[in-house]
Amino acid sequence: MKRRPPVVELVCVGSELLDGKADTHLGHIALRLRAAGLRLSRETVLPDSLEPLTAGLRCALRRCDALLVCGGLGPTFDDITREAMAAAVGRELVFSPRLYAGIRRMFARLGIRRPPKENRHQAFLIRGAQALANRVGSAPGQWLAMPRQPTLPSAPVVALLPGPTREMLPMLEREVLPRLRRACGRGLHSQALVLHLCGLPESVADQRLRPLIRQAGPELDFTILSNTGQVDFHIFARCSSASRSRDIIARARRLALRLVGPHIFGEGPVQLEAVTGSLLRRRGLTLAVAESCTAGLLAARLTRAPGSSGYFRGGVLAYADEVKRGLLGVPAATLRRHGAVSSACARQMAAGARLATGADVGVAVTGIAGPGGATKTKPVGLVFVAMSGPGRAIASSRLRFSGDREAVRQRAASAALRLLWSRLKRNEA
Amino acid sequence: MKRRPPVVELVCVGSELLDGKADTHLGHIALRLRAAGLRLSRETVLPDSLEPLTAGLRCALRRCDALLVCGGLGPTFDDITREAMAAAVGRELVFSPRLYAGIRRMFARLGIRRPPKENRHQAFLIRGAQALANRVGSAPGQWLAMPRQPTLPSAPVVALLPGPTREMLPMLEREVLPRLRRACGRGLHSQALVLHLCGLPESVADQRLRPLIRQAGPELDFTILSNTGQVDFHIFARCSSASRSRDIIARARRLALRLVGPHIFGEGPVQLEAVTGSLLRRRGLTLAVAESCTAGLLAARLTRAPGSSGYFRGGVLAYADEVKRGLLGVPAATLRRHGAVSSACARQMAAGARLATGADVGVAVTGIAGPGGATKTKPVGLVFVAMSGPGRAIASSRLRFSGDREAVRQRAASAALRLLWSRLKRNEA
């Protein structure tokens, strides 16, 4: 029998989430579910209001195999997740003396003899539910396995979790995920791989990867994400055996390498700055920057990688032309003849960064981020990046970016990083 | 007749959002809607998959007066929001030659004569929809006012917006909110004000502002948000006349000034770097940085403000101690005696940044961002910021931040910016 993948949904409860006040747990929970071989099908954020919350939960239960609900388990009047879920599944709430004893013990540890009467709410369980231990706060979670019903596609399981991250995450990890694996694993084995590409716009990457993307089916699935000059290509497999998942991923990977290989800078949880850093480290090279329009964005990104102090020496931010001359040694004649936004200036800045800091490699950016500063021949978005070293090597490129000031700056920093990566990689090959 | 408040829902489309890869726009959009006198009733995150997306949109349309949908308007195979919404409202997609001409012009400006054929998808409109201009990217938005239907509580309006924040926000502001106010405003006049505070933790700001927050009622409403060392206090009014809204806001503002006045650095859409830039510009002062652990974050933030080239000269990124000595003139004795992470080093770096660039004011950061680099006396998170000038003035402060490498770096850059702002303001007063 061919089985569909389990449908898991998340509901976050809290009017403050809809008022711009706080983040939901979507990112945290999604990543932990994937590590358990499960994927979220939907997230819904609902207010602390009994009627829409109950209706929203009831709808979700009709769609899914597992429903995680975060928030609204506290002691105050607007914590109504217990009541709403009880109504949604048509069961009553039952006072648990054992749970209340636990809440009293927790307060006793804090030196409070009788819990406020509001906390009595927290000792009510949906009939048939198991309590989930909360080692951090006063709100116990609940786990409910529903019997198979004729109107539902499957017998759903429900987990109620507290809202605060520091209470929710340990309960998810220790109490909910193990139960969820048993309930929804269904003998399916999942595997995922992400390939990171650079130097290729999203739509072009998509076009080139078509022969692979066309193979998507029940066992294989893709997503393309793009972010400031980088494209992430995600490959997912979900098969009846672990070895088949591995094979399918490996085959997809081989085809992707044939289609866009030279643009792939890494696989898995890596960033371009860390990959570039490894290339430098492997060859024992040090690095410096000279930045004009990006004014530190490139260096800030290079040093995001832990351990970057092993190869990054520093650099010069040269916004004013006198700083380009004084600290980077860009000749006045270059500035006069070609201007500060020119290939010649970028190359001399890159060389100057090496000289000023004693680094083996220098990388430079100069450009017009806008909104002001454009001339007849030099529009907003015109950027030059250059790289000097190792040794006598020198390279530069001229780029033109669209977008506002911040977008041009971010893209310019990305382009400089790409130049650095591609030259270091070519030298190594 | 008392009318129920309009029901506004948000749908964010993207499998990546459910895979833990990116943030949704919930916070951004919630705040902007509140400023327009509207509140979100629900957010739903749905995958790039035609069937569940169409079903989810159809459900949402049955519940609400206005439906905002973000994401899935790009050119690639998994951008299917247009198709799903067309199916949900039972209308067809129509090719718009005018829209396609606009897309071609956008590519032409980038020097690409023919857009990739994938971008043709983006020229399809749901029948009856208006196109919403995208000044930043290639994905036009869509606005659709549905006729009143017997099965629905009202005649819903629908807005389709692109997923990337920098494309979504301007379209929301310029194209969607004015239409939404006309469609759902219902004669109420809304007004909003945000006060930006720095140098005060969120809980302390909340406590001091209590006398004002207690005045919240049907016409007046507040939210406190905190983000890397800055606290934003939002005030919302929604009254039957514009003048009453204005009065209520003005009264709340006066009380806020009495309660936390010295910590307020700005009002409305301003950022600390721009306010600081204005202080420099007003006094004709120029600025330079010397950054160690932040490695460009501070300068990148200072130069986010357009026109910052008027006062920002540049600076030195001194990761390696030899760069601190060579380019900033930090004496070897200081490094030997106090170490690179010390008040003495920070002060000499700030002075060195002025000397090296000829700026009137220098600001410096040095610290241990982690995960490595800690010693017995200098833990991860220890940061020194310093400011030298104008004239002979010198100031520094010692800080201790929690969080991971990136959090420490961001907080350190914010602290340096706060030092700069508070000293410049004090000098001015």
DSSP conformational letter for B296: T
A183: nearest Cα among A205, A148, A155: A155
- The topology (CATH level 3) of B189-267 is Alpha-Beta Plaits (3.30.70)
Sign of CA dihedral B165, B167, B173, B179: negative
| Tens digits of residue pLDDT in B90-99 | 999 999 999 8
Who among A34, A319, A404 is closest to B312 (CB)? Answer: A319
Per-residue pLDDT for B306 more than 50?
yes
What pLDDT is stored for residue A1 in this prediction?
Answer: 37
Who among B304, B307, B320 is closest to A372 (CB)? Answer: B307
Q: What are φ and ψ of residue A226, in 5° steps? A: -125, 145
Who among A44, A52, A304 is closest to B44 (CB)? Answer: A44
Per-residue pLDDT for A409 more than 50?
yes
Contacts of B294 in chain A (CB under 8 A): 300
B256: nearest Cα among B231, B274, B277: B231
- Which residue carries 């994938």 as its tokens? B118
| Tens digits of residue pLDDT in A192-202 | 888 999 888 88
CB B235 within 8 A of CB B253: yes
Q: Residue A6: helix, strand or coil by DSSP?
A: coil
CATH homologous superfamily of B8-184 equals MoaB/Mog-like domain (3.40.980.10)
Q: Tell me the C-alpha distance between A360 and B316, whole Å.
A: 18
Domain with CATH 3.40.980.10 in chain A: 8-184
Q: Which of A101-115, A227-241, B380-394 has the highest mean pLDDT?
A: B380-394
| Token output for B263 | 């910590």
Domain with CATH 3.90.950.20 in chain B: 272-428
Residues A272-428, CATH architecture: Alpha-Beta Complex (3.90)
What pLDDT is stored for residue B151 in this prediction?
Answer: 61
| Token output for B390 | 């104008």
Q: Residue B353: helix, strand or coil by DSSP?
A: helix
**Residue B373 or B69, more confident:** B69
b (16+ CB within 10 A) / e for A291-329: bbbbbbbbbbbbbbbbebbebbbbbbbbbbbebbbbbbe
A370: nearest Cα among A401, A349, A346: A401
Which residue type sits at B45?
Answer: V
Q: How far is B251 from chain A (nearest CA, A)?
A: 23
pLDDT above 90 covers a percentage of chain B that reads 62
- Which residue carries 């999942």 as its tokens? A190
| Tens digits of residue pLDDT in B56-91 | 999 999 888 999 999 999 888 789 999 999 999 999
CB A73 within 8 A of CB A79: yes
* Mutation for testing the A interface, residue in B8, B15, B18 having most A CBs under 10 Å: B18
Cβ pair A223:B16 closer than 8 A: yes
Contacts of A407 in chain B (CB under 8 A): 136, 166
- Which residue carries 């033109």 as its tokens? A400
**Residue A371 or A184, more confident:** A371
Q: Tell me the C-alpha distance between A120 and B103, whole Å.
A: 61
What pLDDT is stored for residue A153 in this prediction?
Answer: 57
Q: Tell me the C-alpha distance between B334 and A393, whole Å.
A: 37
Domain with CATH 3.30.70.2860 in chain B: 189-267
What pLDDT is stored for residue A112 in this prediction?
Answer: 78
In sequence order, the β-bridge partners of residue B237 are B191, B220
Quickly state the pLDDT bin for B229 (edges 50, 70, 90).
low
Contacts of B333 (CB under 8 A, 6+ apart): none
Closest alpha carbon within chain B to A21? B225
Who among A213, A319, A400 is closest to B313 (CB)? Answer: A319
DSSP conformational letter for B263: G
Q: Tell me the C-alpha distance between A268 and A403, whole Å.
A: 29
| Tens digits of residue pLDDT in A125-150 | 999 999 998 887 778 999 999 877 66
Report, as an integer, the average pLDDT of A217-225.
82
Q: Residue B276: helix, strand or coil by DSSP?
A: helix
Quickly state the pLDDT bin for B2 (edges 50, 70, 90).
very low
pTM: 0.78
b (16+ CB within 10 A) / e for A208-217: bbeebbeeee
What pLDDT is stored for residue A314 in this prediction?
Answer: 97
A366: nearest Cα among B309, B221, B263: B309
CA angle B44, B49, B53 (to 5 degrees): 40
- Cα A305–chain centre separation: 16
CB B199 within 8 A of CB B418: yes
CB A162 within 8 A of CB A29: no
What pLDDT is stored for residue A2 in this prediction?
Answer: 44
Among the listed ranges A16-20, A32-36, B143-147, B386-390, which one has the minimum average pLDDT value? A32-36
| Token output for A403 | 């977008």
First and final C-alpha spacing in chain A: 49
CB A299 within 8 A of CB A311: no
Per-residue pLDDT for A121 more than 80?
yes
What pLDDT is stored for residue B281 in this prediction?
Answer: 96
Q: How far is A95 from chain B (nearest CA, A)?
A: 31
Q: Tell me the C-alpha distance between A232 and B137, whole Å.
A: 19
**Residue B214 or A224, more confident:** B214
Q: Where are the beta strands (DSSP E) in A319-427?
A: 361-367, 382-388, 394-400
Burial class of A111 by CB neighbour count within 10 A (0 to 12, 13 to 18, 19+): exposed
What pLDDT is stored for residue B154 in this prediction?
Answer: 63
Indicate the angle between helix axes B177-184 and B26-35, nearest 10 degrees.
50
Quickly state the pLDDT bin for A382 (edges 50, 70, 90).
very high
Using alpha carbons, list the distances in angstroms from residue B52 to A8, A64, A408, B87, B163: 13, 12, 36, 12, 18
Q: Residue A219: helix, strand or coil by DSSP?
A: coil
Q: Tell me the C-alpha distance between A7 and B46, whole Å.
A: 13
| Tens digits of residue pLDDT in B20-60 | 766 778 988 998 898 888 889 999 999 999 999 999 999 99
Contacts of A313 in chain B (CB under 8 A): 319-320, 322-323
Q: What rounded mean pLDDT belongs to chain B? A: 90
Cβ pair A316:B314 closer than 8 A: yes
* Mutation for testing the B interface, residue in A303, A360, A365 having most B CBs under 10 Å: A303
Q: Which of A17-31, A151-165, B356-370 has the highest mean pLDDT?
A: B356-370
First and final C-alpha spacing in chain B: 53
- Run of H or E residues at A413: helix A405-428
Among the listed ranges A150-154, A413-417, B8-12, which one has the minimum average pLDDT value? A150-154
Beta strand B264-267 with A264-267: parallel, antiparallel or unpaired? unpaired
Per-residue pLDDT for A113 more than 70?
yes
Q: Residue A34: helix, strand or coil by DSSP?
A: helix
Q: Tell me the C-alpha distance between A150 and B305, whole Å.
A: 61
Our CA dihedral for B81, B82, B84, B89, rounded to 10 degrees, sits at 130
Which residue type sits at B8?
Answer: V
Per-residue pLDDT for B1 more than 50?
no
Closest alpha carbon within chain B to A407? B166
